[in-house]
Structures are given as structure tokens and as C-alpha cells.
């Protein structure tokens, strides 16, 4: 009996040790996947479609991209797996411009310029509804972007100096507020910039999205240069509010306590466009001019608090064979693969996009449809749960055998 008891202890301790080692290895794999940044970023895919905007479905690890008339669905390798034509070809009066995805309702929203929203079912891509902004409180809208707040189930349509708010549950217009600025969905605030011309004061104004009441008014430092902040670029990324003018000078404020965190200068012509929460970095696009090369364009990865450029991908200029022309737009960063999607246009807006680039700025990318543990936390949780369940089951079985032998 003593021998059997010792054997049981050996088996149990071995199983427990195996489970602990497995958990440690999985944890190391999970942590190590979040640290690698490419010093030399590269283009992973060139997608020869005139994609004007992208949105991401993290659950299925797919990408939605819209051209002027069609919604394309891509897998993790940026291969087309579905094509849904929504408008007639070469319709220059009506065209698709922006796309967004609501994971809470599994709906896809597309902006049909100038003032229509198309709502699609995320399962079969059928049209659920069409919303005409002419029926809203702001009938002269021209859509300039779509933002989904899945936590509150709200959809915000940006109209340059106005936001139209849509109920994500039944896709009806809720309200319109006539303020422009950057949406802070963590606190459900709108951050905007204003100036008092008469007194020469400059302010950041924070408003509650539910009623547009002023939450906080922050007097800012002296303007960047003699030209002032005529029309600065404002963004909320992560926990920070960024105000930048087009000389590259940027102020960074905390959205938690409204304090000035930092200020830094980026290359002239730089615009901050996207944020990757996992790596806590920003992506900026820059456009400059050289007499030798013409327009010089690229994308940089920037530290979100210090403004330090971590890596850059230059020479993304569109070339028609005769001269350099056109521009580029960062249209999104995948939360799953962390690829940065850049639309290359032959003109000064995405309506004339020629192709889309998927660019890698981090060392670890999703190279297959099978995700690693570090890229899929849910998968990791199931593996951990399975390891514990297996350990407990084996201990119970061995103990039962021991009890039987004892009898």
C-alpha cells in the first residue's frame, strides 16, 4: 500500500509539474509576441484594387475594404474571399468612400457619397437598410468618416464640422451636434480646439457626447508659430489627445486628467493617422517635396508619448511613369495582424486610389489563418483551461485506481 501511495504521489507531482511548465511557456510566448518592432518595415502585400477605406472584424480575422462601388472581404493573408457590388460602375455622382464594422451587432456600415449610409448584414452581406442624411437634422451633410462605438452601440458620421449620431440597434438617427473635433470613446467625450480671436487666447474644449455640455476648458500655450493654429489636426488615440499643426509641432494631453503630457516636433507635412493599442504606437503619414525626386511620401511608426520615430517606410510615392504625383493615406491598422493599410492615390483624395499596401512594422505577423497564442488571447485561455482540466482529471483517475487497489 505504501508503494502504491508513493507511486500516486510521483504521478501527481509529475502531472502538476508538467502543467506548471506548460503555463509558464505559454505565458512567455504571449508576452514575447508583443515586443518586436521592425527597424526595417516592409510591404507584405500590394492589393491591386482601388480600396478607399478598410475596417476589421477581429472575431473572424477578416478585413473589409471598399472601392467606389464594391465591398471586398479579405482573409488574414489579404486574399479576396467575397465581393459584394453595391453600386453601378463608373457612377461619379454616387460612390462608396468609408466603411466601418460594429462587432456588437455584426453590421457593416458604408458611406455612399455624398449623403447615404448603407447597412449590411455581417453574415450574408445583404442590405439591411439605407439611411439618407437628407432626412436627418443636417440635410446638407457630406460624410467624411464613420466611427463605431460598440460599447454604447452608437455610430458617428463625421461631416467635417458636424456629427450625426445613429442608434446601432435599429439604425435610426438620434441627434446631430454641430461641433467638430475628435471622439474620445473611452470617456464618451468630444475634444475640440477653439480660439478667441479678440483676446488671442487658445483653448481645448471637452464636451460630453450625450448632451454637448462643456466638461472642461483648457487654455493652451502660445501657438506654435506666427501662423497660429489656423486649423490644427486633432485626434484622440488611446489615452491621449493630440493637437498638431502642419509644421509637425504637436501637443499631447492626457484624456484622463487633462494635463499637458508632452510636446514634440515631427517632420513637416506629417499627419498622425492611426494607433496600435497593443504596441502603444502611432502611425503617421508624411509628404514632402524635393526638386530631384518630386513628391516624397512615406509612413512612420511613432512613440505615442515621446514622438520618437521608431521606424519608417519611405518611397511610397505613386509614379505614373512620367512624373511623381498623387498622395497616400493610412486607412487602418489591423488589431489582429497589426498590418498597416495604406491607400496610394493618383490625386489628393482616396476617390482616385490606385492600389492598397499592407505594411509590416512589427516582427510577428499573422502569416496563416491559424493564430499564435500571443495573437489570440482567447485561444490561450482555452489552452490554459484545458491544461488544468487535464491535470485534475488525471489526478482523480490515478487516485481512484489507488483506492481500488487499496481495497
Walking along the chain (407 residues) 10 residues at a time, the average pLDDT comes out as 53 58 52 59 93 95 95 95 88 83 97 90 96 66 87 90 90 88 94 71 88 90 52 86 81 94 83 91 82 72 92 79 69 93 79 88 56 47 64 68 63
Rounded CA-CA distance 102/125 in Å is 13
Residues 10 and 71 in one domain: no
379: in domain: no
Give the per-residue pLDDT at 89. 72
Whole-number CA gyration radius for the chain: 26
Q: Hey, which residues does 55 pair with through a beta bridge?
A: 64
Residue 286 has a pLDDT of 84
Asked whether residue 105 is assigned to any structural domain, the reply reads: yes
Residues 393 and 308 in one domain: no
234 domain residue, yes or no: yes
| 253 is a domain residue | yes
Spatial CA neighbour of 246 closest among 271, 226, 283, 273: 271
Other C-beta atoms closer than 10 Å to the C-beta of 356 total 27
Distance CA 374, CA 359 (A): 20
* Residue 376 maps to a domain: no
Yes or no: say if 286 and 269 are a contact pair by the CB < 8 Å rule.
Answer: yes
The answer to whether residues 161 and 241 belong to one domain is yes
pTM reported for the whole predicted model: 0.78
Whether 68 and 214 share a structural domain = yes
What local confidence, expressed as pLDDT, does residue 248 receive? 73
User: What CATH number should be reported for the domain holding residue 142?
Assistant: 2.130.10.10
Same domain, 332 and 224: yes
Q: How many CA atoms does the CB half-sphere of 383 hold within 13 Å?
A: 19
Question: How far, in Å, CA of 110 to CA of 66, rounded?
Answer: 8
Other CB atoms within 10 Å distance of the CB of residue 155: 25
CB-based contact 299:340 (threshold 8 Å): yes
Q: Are 24 and 94 in a shared domain?
A: no
Contacts of 376 (CB under 8 A, 6+ apart): none
Residue 133 is classified by DSSP as G
| 381 located within any domain | no
Q: What is the DSSP letter of 392?
A: H
Q: 9 is in which domain, residue-wise?
A: 2-28+388-406
One domain for residues 17 and 48: no
Residues 109 and 212 in one domain: yes
102 and 11 share a domain? Answer: no
What values do phi and psi take at 206, rounded to 5?
A: -110, 125
299 with 158, same domain?
Answer: yes
- Residue 41 covered by a domain: yes
**The total number of structural domains that make up the chain:** 2
Strand-pairing partners, residue 201, are: 196
Residues 282 and 218 in one domain: yes
| 3-class secondary structure, 298 | strand
Q: For residue 300, give every residue at least 6 positions away whose Cβ sits within 8 Å of its Cβ, in sequence order, or none.
A: 266, 267, 270, 283, 284, 286, 309, 310, 311, 312, 313
Q: Looking at the domain assignment, is residue 224 inside a domain?
A: yes
Query: Does 145 share its domain with 169?
Result: yes
Amino acid at each position: 500500500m505504501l508503494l502504491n501511495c508513493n507511486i500516486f504521489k510521483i504521478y501527481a507531482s509529475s502531472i502538476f509539474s508538467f502543467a506548471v511548465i506548460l503555463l509558464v511557456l505559454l505565458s512567455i510566448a504571449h508576452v514575447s509576441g508583443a515586443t518586436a518592432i521592425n527597424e526595417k518595415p516592409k510591404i507584405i502585400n500590394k492589393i491591386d484594387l482601388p480600396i478607399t477605406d478598410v475596417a476589421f472584424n477581429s472575431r473572424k480575422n477578416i478585413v473589409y475594404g471598399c472601392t467606389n462601388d464594391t465591398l471586398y472581404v479579405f482573409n488574414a493573408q489579404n486574399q479576396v474571399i467575397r465581393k459584394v457590388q453595391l453600386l453601378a460602375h463608373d457612377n461619379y455622382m454616387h460612390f462608396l468612400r468609408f466603411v466601418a464594422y460594429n462587432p456588437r451587432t455584426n453590421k457593416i456600415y458604408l458611406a455612399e457619397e455624398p449623403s447615404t449610409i448603407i447597412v449590411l448584414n455581417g453574415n450574408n452581406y445583404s442590405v439591411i437598410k439605407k439611411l439618407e442624411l437628407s432626412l436627418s437634422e443636417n440635410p446638407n451633410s457630406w460624410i467624411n468618416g464613420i466611427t463605431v462605438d460598440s460599447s454604447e452601440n452608437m455610430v458617428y458620421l463625421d461631416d467635417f464640422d458636424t456629427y450625426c449620431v445613429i442608434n446601432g440597434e435599429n439604425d435610426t438617427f438620434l441627434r446631430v451636434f454641430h461641433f467638430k473635433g475628435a471622439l474620445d470613446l473611452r470617456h464618451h467625450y468630444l475634444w475640440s480646439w477653439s480660439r478667441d480671436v479678440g483676446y488671442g487666447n487658445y483653448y481645448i474644449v471637452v464636451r460630453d457626447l450625450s448632451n454637448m455640455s462643456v466638461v472642461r476648458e483648457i487654455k493652451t500655450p502660445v501657438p506654435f508659430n506666427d501662423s497660429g493654429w489656423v486649423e490644427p489636426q486633432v485626434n484622440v488615440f488611446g489615452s491621449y489627445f493630440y493637437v498638431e499643426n502642419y509644421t509637425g509641432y504637436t501637443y499631447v494631453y492626457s484624456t484622463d486628467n487633462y494635463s499637458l503630457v508632452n510636446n514634440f516636433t515631427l517632420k513637416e507635412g506629417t499627419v498622425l493617422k492611426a494607433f496600435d493599442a497593443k504596441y502603444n504606437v502611432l502611425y503617421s503619414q508624411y509628404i514632402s517635396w524635393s526638386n530631384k525626386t518630386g513628391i516624397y511620401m512615406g509612413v512612420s511608426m511613432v512613440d505615442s508619448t515621446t514622438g520618437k520615430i521608431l521606424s519608417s517606410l519611405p518611397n511610397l510615392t505613386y509614379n505614373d511613369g512620367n512624373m511623381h504625383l498623387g498622395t497616400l493615406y493610412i486607412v487602418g491598422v489591423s488589431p489582429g495582424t497589426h498590418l498597416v493599410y495604406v491607400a496610394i492615390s493618383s490625386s489628393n483624395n482616396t476617390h482616385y486610389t490606385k492600389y492598397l499596401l499592407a505594411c509590416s512594422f512589427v516582427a510577428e505577423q499573422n502569416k496563416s489563418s491559424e493564430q499564435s497564442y500571443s495573437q489570440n488571447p482567447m485561444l490561450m485561455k482555452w489552452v490554459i483551461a484545458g491544461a488544468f482540466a487535464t491535470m485534475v482529471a488525471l489526478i482523480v483517475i490515478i487516485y481512484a485506481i489507488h483506492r481500488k487497489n487499496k481495497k
